[in-house]
Structure formats: structure tokens, C-alpha cells
Structure 1
Amino acid sequence: MSKQIKVLLINGSPRENGNTFTMLSWVKEGLEKEGINAEIYQLGRKDIKTCKSCWGCMKTGKCWQEDPVMDELIEKIVAADGIIIGSPTYYADVPGVVKTFIDRTVPFAIKNTLNRKVGAAVVMARRGGAIHVYDTINHWFGINGMITIGSTYWNDGYNPNVTDQHEVEKDSEAKNTMKNLAENMAFVLKRIVE
């Protein structure tokens, strides 16, 4: 394999080192064991501008708004072979910053920028609503023509005590699911890049 494979893991949680980060770290560790370059990008506490629905990006392929966070994130996404979006569950969906990010990537779909890249959702929940979060993220992969990766179960984890980030460590099923997700993603990426 001559090309270094890159995976960008986006942490949509405002808790920089919380439960979502822990689950993404498990995937990152698995990808690195497979020789894949993996980076976690902290989106959750950053301010990004909302979509103004002006459709200017339909003409230029780029949003007219000055937004250094989105510019940096878009650059990293374009350079990556695989993208994992990690998100906590907020009222049975992604938090606002993740939805804003999704809304602002309309130019990707217009220009087929992400077509045939590999994507996976990683979802953290206290008790319920995780499947809707999983669907929101996977719909973004689908509309962008990406190849979606699953694991041995849904790519999610549970922690009834969300304020204690170490509680997710007790979810052995989630840890195993993230390990298998990394292996599945590596398997597909290596065959695409060959």
C-alpha cells in the first residue's frame, strides 16, 4: 500500500474528553493498529455560522460566509479517505453544532466531493434516542454518495450517568463494537485505496 490512508474522526460533543470522545478514541486506536492515520477533530465547542439558505453555494460551490472553523474542517474532510462523525444524543438527535455542520456542507453534495469516501457514525446516549442520531449522520453519508460502515451492532454506546465520562468504560459491548467498527473500516479503506 503506497498511499497513507487518513480517517478524520469528528467529535460533535461539547465535552471535549467526554463519553463520545472515549468511543472515538477506541475507534482511533483500532484504526492506528491497522496502520491508518487517524485524527480526532473537536467540533462540539466551536462556533460555526448557520446556513442562511441563500443558495449562493449552488453557484460557487462554496459558502460566502467567512468561517475559519468550517474552512478548516472542510479542508480536513476533503483530505480524508474516511470520515467518522461522533455525536451525543440531544433530544433524540444530533446537537445543534453537528446539524449546522451538516447543513453547511451542501457544496459537497453538489460537487460529489465525498463520493465513494468511507463514513461511519458513532453515537453516545444516556438511555434512548441514539438510533435517530445514527440515522441523521448516515443520511448525510448517503446524500454525499459515501460508503457507510457498520459493526457487529449499532455503532453506539450508553452511559446512564452522562456527567461521569468514565462510566462509558463499563460498556464493554460498546468498546467491542468500536473495535469491530475500526476493523471493518480499515478493511474497506485498504481495498478502496489499493
Structure 2
Amino acid sequence: MKVVAINGSPRKGGNTELLLKTALEPLAQAGWETELVRIGGKNIHGCRACFKCWETKDNRCIFGKDVFNDAFAKVLGADAVILGSPTYFADVTAEMKAFMDRAGFVAMANGCVLAGKIGAAVVAVRRGGATHVFDTMNHLFQISQMVLPGSTYWNMGYGLEPGKVEGDVEGLRNMTQLGKAIDWLGKAIKNAPPYPVQMSREG
């Protein structure tokens, strides 16, 4: 089984990355193939509402000169997806929002291709606003008919300077439990019948 973590932070080696890696550790130990993809700080634009993906239906955005299609292809090839973002004015980064809008639209255009996959959100925060960031990412999972695992608390870690979340013992413990929950859920889904996809716009 495979899990891909999409990092929306422009900081390489920052707190969001540390949290995501902590969540991935128990999955790697359980035999999952893990991959961490950073889109933060890279060229990615928002959805232009051109509806071309509803015409082509090839699991791609017609605007292919940024990092979106490569990152989305990795999501399509995974059983579980973890989205990670730092807190920017009580919301996700611009890069993460751009990825989410296009991922959600392309997925719907192609028959709700994210349905039945596991989705989890992880947030790095200095002090406040993380719950809204967490909700924003979960909204994509829920409208895409994905399955969300729980953990011991909201999936957030506290720290401003790179590496500071390593001092958040509870936050790291929550990430570890999140990884274990994804492993348990993934194994349960693997033995389940196909997800009953329901189209919202057509069919």
C-alpha cells in the first residue's frame, strides 16, 4: 500500500515537514510505501474554472506547466493522502489552496477518483488559527468522498522556527497515532467492497 504526503510549506525542512515525516514513520514501519512531495514554494497556480478537465477526462489539468499534474498523479497512485500546511493568517498556504481546488475539480471531472481513499490533514502553527487550517483541508476530503481517520487530538503541532515542533511532545505523539490509524484503516479498506461512488454533477 502507498501513502503520499503533500507538503504545502515553502520551508524546506520546516515544522510541517517534520510533522508529516513523523506521521509517515509508523506507516513505513508497517510496510507501506511512503512519499513526501513538497509543493510549497514551487510554481503552482489556482483553478481557472475553464472546465477543460470535464472535457478531456484524463485525470489532468490542461494547464500542465506547473507542479500540479505530477503531484496529483502521485495522489491518484496512493491509497492514502496526507495534506500538510503551516498556518498562514488562519488558513492554508496559497500553494496548498491552489492544489486543493484543482485536485478537487479534476477528481470530480473524472468520476470522483479520490472516493474511498484515506485523507488526513496535518497543520503546523505558532499559536492560533490551526483548527481552521485543519478544517480547510478536511473539506476537500469530505466533498471528494474520502475516508478520514481520527487521532488523539486535532492533527497540529506547535512551533515557529524550523524544528520547534520537535519540542511539542503531544503533537508528535498525535502524528504517530495518526500514522497508526491510517495503517489500520487502510488494511480494513483493502478488504472491503468497492466504494459506492455517487456523482454530484452528473450520472
Q: TM-score per shorter chain, which class?
A: over 0.9
1:167 aligns with 2:164: yes
SS at match of 1:35: coil
Distance in 2, matches of 1:14 and 1:149, equals 26
Alignment counterpart, residue 177 of structure 1, candidates 169, 174, 177: 174
Could you tell me which residue of structure 2 aligns to residue 29 of structure 1?
Answer: 25
Contact 1:109 1:143 in 2 (8 A): no
Contact 1:114 1:144 in 2 (8 A): yes
Alignment counterpart, residue 187 of structure 1, candidates 164, 184, 187: 184
AA of the residue aligned to 2:173? N
Q: Percent identity?
A: 42
Could you tell me which residue of structure 1 aligns to residue 48 of structure 2?
Answer: 52
Could you tell me which residue of structure 1 aligns to residue 154 of structure 2?
Answer: 154
Q: TM-score, normalised by structure 1?
A: 0.92
Structure 1: stretches of 5+ with no match in the other structure: none
Q: Give 1:1-16 correspondences, 5 Å limit.
A: 5-16=1-12
AA of the residue aligned to 2:139? H
Could you tell me which residue of structure 1 aligns to residue 197 of structure 2?
Answer: none
Could you tell me which residue of structure 2 aligns to residue 42 of structure 1?
Answer: 38
Deviations 1:67-97 (A, max 9, x none): 3511211110110000000110000000100
SS at match of 2:85: strand
SS at match of 2:119: strand
Q: TM-score, normalised by structure 2?
A: 0.88
1:100 aligns with 2:98: yes
Deviation at 1:55, TM superposition (A): 1.8
Deviation at 1:165, TM superposition (A): 1.6
Distance in 2, matches of 1:20 and 1:66, equals 26
SS at match of 1:148: coil
Q: Give 1:69-80 correspondences, 5 Å limit.
A: 69-80=67-78
SS at match of 2:67: helix
Structure 2: stretches of 5+ with no match in the other structure: 192-203
AA of the residue aligned to 1:169? E
SS at match of 1:72: helix
Could you tell me which residue of structure 2 aligns to residue 125 of structure 1?
Answer: 125
Contact 2:118 2:186 in 1 (8 A): yes
AA of the residue aligned to 2:187? K
